[in-house]
Amino acid sequence: MNILYINHYAGSPLHGMEFRPYYLAREWVQQGHQVRMVAADYSHVRATQPDLSALSDAVVGRATVQTIDGIDYHWYRTPSYAGNGLGRVKNIAAFLQQVWQDAHRIAMQFQPDVVIASSTYPMDIWVAHRIVKIARQQGRACKLVFEVHDLWPLSPIELNGMSTRHPFIMLCQAAENYAYKHADVVISMLPKVAEHMQQHGLDLSKLHIVPNGITLDEWQGQAPALRSDIAEHIAAQKAAGYTVVGYAGSHGTPNAMDIALDAAVLLKDDNFRFVLVGDGHEKAALQAQAQRLGLQDSVAFFDPIPKAQVPAFLAHIDIAYIGWQRVPIYRFGIAPNKLMDYMMAGCVVLHSVEAGNDPVAEAGCGITVPPADPEAIARGLRALSQLDTDTRNRMGTAGRQFVLDNHTYPVLAQRFLQACAPEKAAV
């Protein structure tokens, strides 16, 4: 089967986030399917952008081709940007325009059986549908799949306060409604979206839930060693008798790290040390906040580490932390990659959230407390630190088993393919 996967932000082990498209595609390639990944060459979520100059001999149409682990990435040149302003809009427009112009060539040359529109914004549904219609005109029984990561435009409305009458929001709303009407299959990572999607025109018989997950090979064999500066810092804190609370991931507004720092203030007189690994647009502000609150001794910031080192980092810490803002959008559910990593590592987890689902509570691998509540976070961390070793180990084992049963990419890739084309999915 030929699978065309359109994801503006698609990443890989060579580039960093976003990983989900890569892991799904890799599983499909291993099953014998052909996968073409269509992505922009610049994305704010990648650690490293593809070097198109080194691939100058591999230009097809308007795209530059790079094969990674059997997946053919077709990179489209787009302008760089910072933040969520006009620069990002121009980047989106440049990408969509080029794929639209290439639609006929893609449909005729690749002859897709499935076209997946997968992005955090919904406008790629239009270019995906254009490719599907051209393929169908050639006699192919091509299916249109809309994969929902975040609910747009509801996310920027509720998270960032954007007006429903903002032109960009109105454009997103039109695209979302179009997707629910025209897609043959809708796949959501969020488990509680049915009512919202139905209100916007979706026939719920089209809806399938396929959450985020982990790839097993990153957790088998000898894991790469943790970067020495982080490993040495954690070892020193533990040797001094401190409980180490770790976080690995983006330092952005949705992650509510400012609340974690407020909790750290309440724990100054307790035996806690915080190790925060990652980057993001709020990192500088968080570092300034920590300085202002006098947390120089109890909170340490480190630059991002390769994804392959995440298991080693999690093996070093005592408690894994993940927090969220208190916002209505989470009523539709959450599907964070980092939480799957935490659970797979057998960590006990302090989860600060109010959402439609809670994997930590489902698995019994930690404590869940309300979001935006430093005192609740502090109480939860104290409670976890006081657990005996056997209880902590049982909780960690429960989290790992929950992921193995429900959130590995071989399982998820098969569920995805079964939803798209059950008649062609491998058994």
Q: In this structure, what are the phi and psi dihedrals at residue 234, rounded to the nearest 5 degrees?
A: -65, -45
CA distances 81 to 72, 166, 378, Å, are 25, 21, 37
pLDDT at 427: 45
Q: How far apart are CA 146 and CA 125, in angstroms?
A: 7
Q: Is the dihedral of CA 329, 334, 337, 338 positive or negative?
A: positive
The answer, yes or no, to whether residue 368 has pLDDT greater than 70, is yes
93-100 LR contacts (CB < 8 Å, sep 24+): 94/40, 95/8, 95/40, 96/123, 96/124, 96/126, 96/127, 98/62, 98/63, 99/6, 99/38, 99/124, 99/127, 100/126, 100/127, 100/130
User: pLDDT of 307-322, one tens digit each?
Assistant: 889 999 999 999 999 9
How many CB atoms are closer than 10 A to CB 56? 9
Tell me the domains of the chain and their CATH numbers. Answer: 2-213+408-420 (3.40.50.2000), 217-406 (3.40.50.2000)
Pairing outcome for strands 319-323 and 185-188 = unpaired
The answer, yes or no, to whether residue 223 has pLDDT greater than 90, is no
- pLDDT bucket at 225, cuts 50 / 70 / 90: very high
What DSSP character marks residue 408?
B
The answer, yes or no, to whether residue 218 has pLDDT greater than 90, is no
Instruction: State the average pLDDT for the chain.
Output: 95
Mean pLDDT over 275-301 rounds to 96
Q: Backbone dihedral region of 336: left (phi > 0), alpha (psi from -120 to 50 degrees) or beta?
A: beta
Residues facing 72 on adjacent strands: 36, 67
The answer, yes or no, to whether residue 283 has pLDDT greater than 90, is yes
Query: Tokens standing for 75?
Result: 């990179």
The answer to whether 144 touches 182, Cβ cutoff 8 Å, is yes
User: pLDDT of 319-344, one tens digit each?
Assistant: 999 999 998 999 999 988 899 999 99
User: pLDDT of 170-212, one tens digit each?
Assistant: 999 999 999 999 999 999 999 999 999 999 999 999 999 999 9
pLDDT at 426: 54
The answer, yes or no, to whether residue 423 has pLDDT greater than 80, is no
| H helix intervals, 118-266 | 124-137, 154-160, 167-182, 194-199, 228-239, 257-266
Query: Tokens standing for 315?
Result: 């093996």
How many CB atoms are closer than 10 A to CB 15? 23
User: pLDDT of 30-50, one tens digit each?
Assistant: 999 999 999 999 998 888 999
